[in-house]
Amino acid sequence: PGVLYLCATPIGNLEDITLRALRVLKEADCIAAEDTRHTRKLLSHYEIHTPLVSYHSHSSESKEEHLIHRLLQGENIALVSDAGMPGISDPGADLVRQALQHGIEVIPVPGPSAAIAALVASGLPTHKFVFEGFLSNQRKTRRKQLQALRWEQRTMVFYESPHRLADTLRDMLAEWGDRPCTVARELTKLHEEFKRGTLSELVEYYNENRPKGEITLIVGGLPQEEAAARQQEKWADLSLTEHVA
Ligand code: SAM
């Protein structure tokens, strides 16, 4: 069979594509794209003429079958999303699973991802982090999701839409108390901007200044001291129950 390549593409700056990704896109038999019109712009910029086929989150199973069939016939297919790494808050994971089930080789061609770019420049600890992607757009569900992260000690990475940012920051402050936070906006683009501060500072700022563009949000985990204090409380509770028993 052929190979399924997962090709990272730019998240804003057309120069952010690797030499290898360009070669793979050029040499592949076909490029499966989340949005063919979007990807066509990238391809024409780099004078790549590989045929495109659409593959997005609403693609039917038969679309997947079609791609698997072509891979099994020996075609090499490069999967790309609109921006960044396919499969990261983007379609791809299902196709990868199916390809592996059919014994098809899956090869990543790494490159930009907004999550990693925002994290490394955030100033928050990077040695351990969790990627949370998009929170629910239902207020109640979002609050529940935030509650579930109350005791998370690792740095947290979220994708967020500009019109929900202020609300999300406010909800985070309400659920977690104040924390260090970085808002990375329009990464790699002309108006790239980082706002670093605390949740309360950023709530205030974004209440006044409604943001535009694409946003990745990085928030500090539960501080070590608070985690230790909580652990102490748990131990105290435990010895109390043992005593009673
Ligand atoms: N697969 C992509 C990746 O690897 O980065 C993410 C796709 S997800 C559908 C799109 C979201 O990623 C945006 O809504 C935004 O939250 C974040 N994002 C993408 N490009 C960005 C950029 N240039 N600056 C900040 N955040 C960005």
Atom nearest to 158 CA in ligand 1 = 16
What distance in angstroms lies between residue 31's CA and the mean position of ligand 1's atoms? 21
Q: How many CA atoms lie within 13 A of 78 on its CB side?
A: 26
When the pLDDT of each residue in the chain is averaged and rounded to a whole number, the result is 95
The predicted structure's pLDDT at residue 50: 98
Instruction: Examine the pLDDT at 214 and tell me if it is beyond 70.
Output: yes
Q: For 232, phi and psi rounded to 5 degrees?
A: -55, -45
Q: Which of 82, 214, 218, 219 to mutate to test the pocket of ligand 1 (most atoms within 8 A of CB)?
A: 214
Query: What is the CB < 6 Å shell around ligand 1?
Result: 11-12, 81, 83-85, 88-90, 113-115, 159-160, 184-189, 214-216
Q: How far apart are CA 218 and CA 131, in angstroms?
A: 9
Partners of residue 54 on adjacent β-strands? 33
What is the DSSP annotation of 115-168? HHHHHHHH-S--SSEEEEEEPPSSHHHHHHHHHHTTT--SEEEEEE-GGGHHHH
What distance in angstroms lies between residue 12's CA and the mean position of ligand 1's atoms? 9
pLDDT band, residue 245 (cuts 50/70/90): low
Q: How far apart are CA 133 and CA 176, in angstroms?
A: 18
The predicted structure's pLDDT at residue 173: 98
What distance in angstroms lies between residue 13's CA and the mean position of ligand 1's atoms? 13
pLDDT per position as a tens digit, 173-206? 999 999 999 999 999 999 999 999 999 999 999 9
The predicted structure's pLDDT at residue 17: 98
What distance in angstroms lies between residue 159's CA and the mean position of ligand 1's atoms? 7
pLDDT band, residue 242 (cuts 50/70/90): confident
Atom nearest to 81 CA in ligand 1 = 1
The predicted structure's pLDDT at residue 231: 84
pLDDT per position as a tens digit, 143-175? 999 999 999 999 999 999 999 999 999 999 999
Q: Which residues contact 169 (CB under 8 A, 6 or more apart)?
A: 181, 199, 202, 203, 206, 217
What distance in angstroms lies between residue 110's CA and the mean position of ligand 1's atoms? 15
Q: How far apart are CA 201 and CA 197, in angstroms?
A: 6
**Percentage of the chain modeled with pLDDT above 70:** 99
Q: How far is CA 74 from CA 1, 3, 4, 26, 70, in A?
A: 4, 8, 10, 17, 7
Is 0.90 surpassed by the pTM of this model?
yes
**Percentage of the chain modeled with pLDDT above 90:** 87
pLDDT per position as a tens digit, 104-146? 999 999 999 999 999 999 999 999 999 999 999 999 999 999 9
